[in-house]
């Protein structure tokens, strides 16, 4: 049994700098490198690193970048048999400016093959994997009809569904009926609920509103403030762990991978959010969206913070 991840795969072109440029300004960067990224691939790698069989349904172009990212994700333990190759376009790329003084980033994505992922690719994977996956984890970097199809079909097949509604997009809210766990950040929660989630109070109201639209659980991520865990009738704040921030790219993906693994393993939801917070905390101490800790590192980290017994 394993986790099915449906989403994007990218080549992340990183440039490090000490200062973000203003519009029209040129600043000198300190280094340049290319790593594998994309929210789908990052989350699939996260699940594999945390010890759970992970299947990725995604799309690449018929180019060297596509071959490179596929090889890389496979070497990290992800089953890539269901990654579609579209020779008519380029592999998705992300241009990332990483601010070395703050760990913050600016990202622009050119989706390329992300847009080629169709419901039939999802169906092919589900037909083959039926009985071998019990959790679906998906995001919004691929076409919405594909995401909707995946959520409906996976619910029909009895999987637990997790939607990480990133990046923020306008959704048909009816789809939230097919979502068990919804994991927006403040911007995404605002977009979906129509309630401004900038303040803590606002975030709580936005999450409550979202639970009325279908999801059993809303986990609203608050960056360095941790996460809000809201169900119909209960709400809990789970603070983040304090760590030295090096690179926040992929922090949300690491969190979602941690949450999916915890749900897959049947942890209770409060412990699952604590576990996910630990995975995200360790990720941001390292450069690269797929620098997700392995299971042993997460357990040692939790023990060092006095949390092992709770898990
Ligand atoms: O969430 C981080 C990811 O967003 C990056 O890896 C980048 O590829 C974009 O998809």
The predicted-structure confidence for 2-19, as pLDDT tens digits, reads as follows: 999 999 999 999 999 999
Please give the domain boundaries of the chain with CATH numbers for all domains: 2-8+39-88+114-310 (3.40.1190.20)
**Residue 70 pLDDT greater than 70, yes or no:** yes
**How many C-beta neighbours within 10 Å does residue 194 have?**
10
> Which ligand 1 atom is at minimum distance from the Cα of 8?
10
For residues 255-271, give the mean pLDDT.
97
| For ligand 1, atom 8: residue with the closest CA | 38
For residues 223-241, give the mean pLDDT.
95
| For ligand 1, atom 2: residue with the closest CA | 250
How far apart are the C-alpha atoms of 190 and 296, rounded to whole Å? 36
> Which ligand 1 atom is at minimum distance from the Cα of 42?
6
| For ligand 1, atom 1: residue with the closest CA | 250
**Residue 309 pLDDT greater than 60, yes or no:** no
Confidence of residue 278 (pLDDT cuts 50, 70, 90): very high
Confidence of residue 308 (pLDDT cuts 50, 70, 90): low
Q: pTM (2 decimals)?
A: 0.96
How far apart are the C-alpha atoms of 13 and 290, rounded to whole Å? 13
Identify the pLDDT of residue 289. Answer: 97
Whether 268 sits among the annotated catalytic residues: the reply is: no
Ligand 1 centroid, distance to 253 Cα (angstroms):
8
**Residue 43 pLDDT greater than 80, yes or no:** yes
**How many C-beta neighbours within 10 Å does residue 251 have?**
24
Mean pLDDT, the chain, whole residue set? 96
**Residue 140 pLDDT greater than 70, yes or no:** yes
Ligand 1 centroid, distance to 65 Cα (angstroms):
15
Which tokens in the block code for residue 8? 């994007």
- SS3 category, 309: coil
| For ligand 1, atom 6: residue with the closest CA | 37
> Which ligand 1 atom is at minimum distance from the Cα of 41?
6
Ligand 1 centroid, distance to 139 Cα (angstroms):
11
Please tell me which residue in 12, 79, 86, 253 is annotated as part of the active site.
Answer: 253
């Amino acid at each position: 049994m394993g986790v099915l991840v449906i989403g994007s795969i990218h080549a992340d072109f990183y440039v490090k700098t000490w200062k973000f440029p203003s519009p029209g300004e040129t600043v000198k960067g300190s280094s340049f490198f290319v790593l594998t990224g994309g929210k789908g691939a990052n989350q699939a790698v996260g699940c594999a690193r945390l010890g759970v069989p992970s299947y990725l349904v995604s799309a690449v172009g018929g180019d060297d970048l596509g071959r490179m990212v596929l090889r890389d994700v496979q070497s990290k333990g992800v089953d890539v048999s269901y990654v579609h190759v579209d020779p008519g376009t380029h592999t998705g790329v992300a241009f990332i400016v990483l601010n070395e003084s703050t760990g913050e980033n600016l990202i622009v994505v050119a989706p390329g093959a992300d847009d080629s992922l169709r419901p039939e690719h999802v169906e092919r994977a589900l037909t083959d994997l039926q009985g071998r996956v019990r959790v679906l984890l998906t995001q919004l970097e691929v076409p919405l009809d594909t995401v909707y199809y995946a959520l409906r079909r996976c619910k029909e097949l009895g999987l637990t569904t997790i939607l990480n509604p990133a990046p923020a997009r306008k959704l048909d809210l009816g789809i939230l009926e097919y979502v068990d766990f919804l994991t927006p950040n403040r911007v995404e929660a605002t977009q979906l609920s129509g309630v401004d989630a900038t303040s803590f109070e606002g975030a709580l109201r936005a999450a409550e509103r979202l639970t009325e639209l279908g999801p059993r659980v809303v986990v609203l991520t608050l960056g360095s403030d941790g996460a809000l865990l809201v169900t119909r009738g209960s709400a809990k704040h789970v603070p983040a762990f304090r760590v030295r921030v090096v690179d926040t790219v992929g922090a949300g993906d690491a969190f979602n991978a941690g949450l999916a693994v915890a749900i897959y393993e049947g942890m209770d939801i409060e412990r699952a959010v604590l576990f996910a917070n630990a995975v995200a905390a360790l990720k941001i101490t390292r450069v690269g969206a797929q620098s997700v800790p392995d299971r042993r590192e997460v357990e040692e980290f939790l023990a060092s913070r006095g949390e092992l017994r709770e898990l």
